[in-house]
Amino acid sequence: MSDVITEVAGGVGRLRLNRPQALHALTLDMCTAMAGALDRWRDDPQIAAVLLDHAPAPDGDAKRSRGFCAGGDIRLLSESGAGDGAAARNFFLTEYRLNHQLFTYGKPVVAVMDGITMGGGVGIACPCRYRVATENTKLAMPETGIGLFPDVGGGWYLSRLPGRIGQYVALTGHRLDGAECVALGLATHYVPSARLDTLKAALIARPEAVAAILAEQAVEPGPARILDHAAAIDRLFAADRLEDVFAALADDPSAFAQQTLATLRTKSPLAMKVSLRLLYDGAAMPDFAAEMRQEYAVATRMVQQPDFLEGVRAVIVDKDQAPRWQADTPAAVDDEAVARIFAPLPADEAWTPG
């Protein structure tokens, strides 16, 4: 069985992630398959809408179906980054083209983020016109913990969240629940998981009425707990300089500030500085293609940094959760090295929409 099931039901093109053993984390072949299906359906008059979700585990094990999409192929990126980086560049090129394709797609796409939605999962869900959260949604960009940064459009989406919540999410990798996703605009609707089968059946029966059907099935999600800390986040993460964020947290005796500081001390200082720069630049990007072009340049360099290789070792391979970062404090990061990471690629190497 393919890792992506592409099929047509009624007037709906269906993209179903089908790699439950890896929480549907994206491979190069999965990105290629989805992009190909979207190309076929783009001008097909029989297809009125697209539905993006994940298939249940074949044995019915709910735990194996708990992820919408847990990210990308980190092992491939790490192995490639340790070498010439060619396979990593090819993966990013293809993945980012899929992200852009979804962002600019002319027909409505509904992403059902039922479960873990992280990294590459955010990259395929957030570009969709409609994004459905449930009580199972756990959305995060945890890349700073492995020496990377919130790519796949993170610089665009997170820089546009209210106040400084995007900076907080980018640096800490904080997991947002379904109610928080709705409150922040990362999700457009909240539908209880028990209603999802009804929702999908209705979309297949009446694909021309996507907005009305979503409105019928959606419910109020309840309070967004992150908003309780919004004022503190805006104050503590006000700076675009990582050293200033650390200083603000260190000077605040509250439990929230001290817990947040402890979290940041586990992350790669280089990756956090890159993330802050990404959001600063992302807020002024003229369009999503420009964002993808910059993120591609940054990503192809970051996967060959020692911090990424060490982060993957500590978190994914050895699982000792004790990474030894090359620069272990914000002050130790060479700001000129960060600037080099953001330098545009030569024209013949730069990302394009395809």
Residue 164 phi, psi dihedral angles, 5° rounding: -110, 20
The yes-or-no answer on residue 143 being catalytic is: yes
The yes-or-no answer on residue 120 being catalytic is: yes
Q: Among the options 13, 72, 123, 145, which is catalytic?
A: 72
Q: Among the options 120, 153, 154, 166, which is catalytic?
A: 120
Residue 256 phi, psi dihedral angles, 5° rounding: -60, -45
The yes-or-no answer on residue 349 being catalytic is: no
The yes-or-no answer on residue 10 being catalytic is: no
Helices (H), the chain: 28-42, 74-81, 86-103, 120-125, 154-157, 165-172, 178-184, 196-205, 210-217, 230-236, 242-251, 255-264, 269-282, 288-302, 306-312, 335-341
Q: Among the options 143, 177, 180, 310, which is catalytic?
A: 143
Token digits of residue 314: 């500590």
How far out from the chain centre does Cα 333 lie? 25
Tally of helices (H runs) and strands (E runs) in the chain: 16, 10
What span, in angstroms and rounded, lies between the C-alpha atoms of 156 and 228? Answer: 24
What span, in angstroms and rounded, lies between the C-alpha atoms of 339 and 51? Answer: 40
Helices 210-217 and 196-205 meet at what angle, rounded to 10?
A: 160
What is the bridge-based pairing of β-strands 176-177 and 138-140?
antiparallel
Q: Among the options 151, 291, 307, 310, which is catalytic?
A: 151
Query: Active-site residue numbers?
Result: 72, 120, 143, 151
